[in-house]
Amino acid sequence: MNKPPILAVVIPCYNEEEILESTINRLLEVIDELNCSDIISRESFIYLVDDGSTDRTFQIIKNFHEKYPQRVKAISFIKNFGNQKAILAGLLEIRKFNFDCCITIDADLQQDETKISEFIQKYREGNELVYGIKNERNDTSFLKKICAMSFYKLMNILGVKTYANHSEYRLVSKNLIDVLSKYCEHNIFLRGIFQEICNKPAIVYYDVKKRMAGTSKFSLFDLFSLAIQGITSFSTVPLRLVTFTGLLISLLSFLFGFSVIIEKLLHLSLIDVPGWATIVVAICFTGGIQIFCIGIIGEYMGQIFTEVKSRPRYIIETELK
């Protein structure tokens, strides 16, 4: 680990025309600085994945590639496949080139790029995986904080060990990317996969900056979908909960039925008021639980459905090597 490693910086981009030029320039600057200080090799490069943008994103990438063909490489997708697949494609496709480790970072540079040297330092100390963990931001809304905290707590309860506040800003060694390539699933939740292939990652803490331009490409619905994807692709505990809920309700109904028979036999009349409210509440409650349970099972069926079709996980339109 004494030789400066060749670093590949993978950036997923979706409609980032407002910000991409300054991001690429800034990252080239960081790579130059690190190269001058002998922290990384001069062969290091940036690898952009255009995730089916409909704006000028790919044109900007092309211009940079023409100017710096060795330092800026890219692929573009035929359509939008989503952030997880864009990152996955970047990680898998850079294997065509010579590199030692890779850092994934967002195109808006909200993640502090000056920390890249710390990532490399941890890599050179022998760590194959380095997670970027966000420092708490005071301006994050209370609702977002609660949602994020509950998600990580729930994941841990369901047996999916993930680090709280960790994002897609991470360093991965070439070896681990080879292991990642053996994961052929379509429903990708990279945080879970990396946790599975290396459970002792090193950590770099960083501050999250505000987006300089453009808007977030993740709606609350996208975040919710990612959370469900994370849970359903790494834990079957919800299915077990469905079974236990069914068993519990059946047991309670049995006990209730049994008590009614005893009452009748002993000519006790404990329920003397026709309890329509109780019945309606009970029906609604069990109905709700049933629909919720069917929903959970449906989520898993949906996962199986997309997995068995075995369609390509992404389709590359153009490659700038």
Q: Which residues bind Mg ion (CB under 5 A)?
A: 106, 108, 110
The minimum distance between CB 110 and Mg ion, in angstroms, equals: 4
Is residue 107 close enough to count as binding ligand UDP by CB under 6 A? Answer: yes
Query: Residue 163 or residue 300: which is nearer to ligand UDP going by CB?
Result: 163
| Binder of residue 51, out of Mg ion, ligand UDP, none (CB less than 5 to 8 A by kind) | ligand UDP
- Residues 22, 216, 259, 306: which binds ligand UDP (CB under 6 A)? 216
Show contacts with ligand UDP in window 164-203 (CB under 6 A).
none
- Nearest residue to ligand UDP by CB is 216
Is residue 82 close enough to count as binding ligand UDP by CB under 6 A? Answer: yes
> What whole-number distance in Å separates Cα of residue 33 and Cα of residue 43?
13
> What whole-number distance in Å separates Cα of residue 219 and Cα of residue 103?
25
Can you read off the two tokens belonging to residue 63?
Answer: 């211009």
Residue with tokens 């990532």: 119
Kindly state the DSSP code that residue 97 receives in the 8-state scheme: S
Kindly state the DSSP code that residue 95 receives in the 8-state scheme: G
Stretch that binds ligand UDP, among 82-90, 114-122, 132-140, 254-262 (CB under 6 A): 82-90
Stretch that binds ligand UDP, among 64-72, 80-88, 231-239, 244-252 (CB under 6 A): 80-88
The minimum distance between CB 213 and Mg ion, in angstroms, equals: 11
> What whole-number distance in Å separates Cα of residue 120 and Cα of residue 38?
11
Query: Residue 44 or residue 110: which is nearer to ligand UDP going by CB?
Result: 110
Helix axes 190-197, 220-234, angle to 10 degrees: 40
| Binder of residue 80, out of ligand UDP, Mg ion, none (CB less than 5 to 8 A by kind) | ligand UDP
Can you read off the two tokens belonging to residue 42?
Answer: 């001069």
Can you read off the two tokens belonging to residue 18?
Answer: 């407002």
| Binder of residue 16, out of Mg ion, ligand UDP, none (CB less than 5 to 8 A by kind) | ligand UDP
Beta-strand pair 129-134/166-173: antiparallel
Cα diameter, the chain:
93
Beta-strand pair 316-320/72-77: antiparallel
| Binder of residue 112, out of ligand UDP, Mg ion, none (CB less than 5 to 8 A by kind) | none
Can you read off the two tokens belonging to residue 213?
Answer: 């331009």
HSE of 275, CA atoms in CB hemisphere, 13 A: 8
* Cα–Cα–Cα angle for 310, 313, 316, rounded to 5 degrees: 130
Count of Cβ atoms closer than 10 Å to residue 215 Cβ: 9
Show contacts with ligand UDP in window 1-20 (CB under 6 A).
12-14, 16
Is residue 83 close enough to count as binding ligand UDP by CB under 6 A? Answer: yes
Cα distances from 220 to residues 55, 100, 192, 225, in angstroms, run 23, 36, 20, 9
The minimum distance between CB 214 and ligand UDP, in angstroms, equals: 8
| Binder of residue 13, out of ligand UDP, Mg ion, none (CB less than 5 to 8 A by kind) | ligand UDP
Is residue 128 close enough to count as binding ligand UDP by CB under 6 A? Answer: no
Query: Residue 14 or residue 47: which is nearer to ligand UDP going by CB?
Result: 14
Is residue 104 close enough to count as binding ligand UDP by CB under 6 A? Answer: no
Query: Residue 41 or residue 73: which is nearer to ligand UDP going by CB?
Result: 73
User: Whose CA is closest to 7, among 117, 99, 116?
Assistant: 99
Point out which residues bind ligand UDP (CB under 6 A). Answer: 12-14, 16, 51, 80, 82-83, 86, 106-108, 110, 216-218
